[in-house]
């Protein structure tokens, strides 16, 4: 049985309560960690979000509740769910289960990294891709998984309509090894034309660290704020 960190909390006016609850859940579950971590872009980040550590039924069930609540509150319309391999597969599955529990039963599909040449064959599994498709993932670093998903969805004759993620890092994306002014989320919204819904953002994490005391994290707010100041995307 997993153990959670005891966290002393206090409330603050104007906070997104769902985002604050999610950040606290991620910290307590050991999914959101602080220290020094190298990102795909080669940056040294003072925090790391590893959705793979939502690793038991209770955590996955709670995670699905956060996704579903944020998604249903967003007003985004969709006809089915798609989970890109690999992390998007369990995320999409548990979200589909939670939505069905809430009375919103929708089809679910996912892809394999390598197409099968036996059995049913192909790279897609689950319900046929059709209508307005919602892509589910954990974070969006470069938008690569989204672009790959869009290609698969379009090849099937469906429409990639929106993306829901757990955490928006709100930081500059990289192209050809160079920082650019927009974030991956902004690129997906503005260049690819998809709606993006996130359970929480880096700004929510900063609010959390400012108003909550977590053992061993006395300087976490300062370090995360410095990272945001250096790599944050304008308007993200």
**Nearest in space to 101 (alpha carbons), one of 67, 136, 135, 134:** 67
Alpha helices (runs of H) in the chain, residue ranges in sequence order: 17-28, 57-74, 88-101, 144-155, 184-190, 202-211, 220-231
**Checking DSSP bridges between strand 195-201 and strand 159-168, what pairing results, if any?**
parallel
Residues 129 and 83: beta-carbon distance below 8 Å = no
What does the DSSP assignment read for 99-162?
HHHTT----EEEEEEEEESSTT-EEEEESPP-SEEEEE-SB-SSSHHHHHHHHHHHHTT-EEEE
Residues 206 and 229 sit within 8 Å (Cβ to Cβ): no
pLDDT score for 77: 95
Cα–Cα distance for residue pair 81/129, rounded to 1 Å: 9
Place of tokens 């370090």: 223
Q: What integer best gives the mean pLDDT of the chain?
A: 88
Percent of the chain with pLDDT over 70: 88
Here the tokens at position 157 are: 């004759």
Which of residues 153 and 112 earns the better pLDDT score?
Answer: 153
Q: Do residues 32 and 47 touch, judged by C-beta distance below 8 A?
A: yes
Q: Give residue 3's pLDDT band: very low, low, confident or very high (50, 70, 90).
A: very low
> Which pLDDT band, with edges at 50, 70 and 90, does 41 fall under?
confident
Half-sphere exposure of 165 (CA within 13 A, CB side): 25
Is the pLDDT at 117 greater than 70? The verdict is no
When pLDDT is cut at 50, 70 and 90, the band that residue 218 belongs to is confident
CB atoms within 10 A of CB 232: 17
- pLDDT value at residue 15: 66
Helix (H) or strand (E) holding 46: strand 44-49
pLDDT of residue 140: 86
The per-residue pLDDT for 118 is 46
Other C-beta atoms within 10 Å of 203: how many?
Answer: 15
Percentage of the chain beyond pLDDT 90 is: 75
Task: List the catalytic residues.
Answer: 116, 118
Task: Report how far residue 200's alpha carbon sits from residue 194's, in angstroms, rounded to the nearest whole number.
Answer: 18
pTM for this one? 0.88
CA distance between the termini of the chain:
38
* pLDDT on residue 143: 74
Q: Is the pLDDT of residue 11 over 50?
A: no
pLDDT for the residue numbered 115: 60
Confidence band, pLDDT 50/70/90 cuts, at residue 116: low
């Amino acid at each position: 049985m997993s153990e959670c960190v005891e966290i002393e909390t206090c409330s603050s006016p104007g906070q997104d309560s769902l985002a604050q609850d999610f950040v606290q859940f991620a910290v307590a579950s050991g999914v959101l960690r602080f220290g020094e971590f190298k990102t795909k872009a080669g940056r040294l980040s003072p925090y790391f979000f590893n959705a793979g550590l939502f690793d038991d039924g209770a955590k996955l069930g709670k995670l699905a509740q956060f996704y579903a609540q944020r998604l249903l509150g967003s007003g985004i319309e969709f006809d089915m769910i798609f989970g890109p391999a690999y992390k998007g597969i369990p995320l999409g599955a548990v979200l589909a289960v939670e939505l069905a529990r809430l009375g919103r039963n929708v089809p679910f599909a996912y892809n394999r990294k390598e197409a099968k040449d036996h059995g049913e064959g192909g790279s897609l599994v689950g319900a046929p891709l059709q209508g307005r498709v919602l892509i589910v993932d954990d974070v969006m670093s470069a938008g690569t998984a989204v672009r790959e998903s869009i290609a698969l969805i379009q090849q099937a004759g469906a429409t990639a309509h929106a993306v829901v993620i757990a955490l928006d890092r709100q930081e500059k994306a990289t192209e050809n090894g160079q920082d650019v002014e927009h974030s991956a989320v902004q690129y997906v919204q503005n260049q690819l034309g998809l709606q993006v819904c996130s359970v929480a953002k880096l700004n929510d994490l900063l609010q959390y660290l400012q108003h909550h005391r977590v053992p061993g994290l006395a300087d976490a707010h300062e370090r995360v704020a410095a990272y945001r100041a250096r790599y944050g995307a304008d308007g993200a």
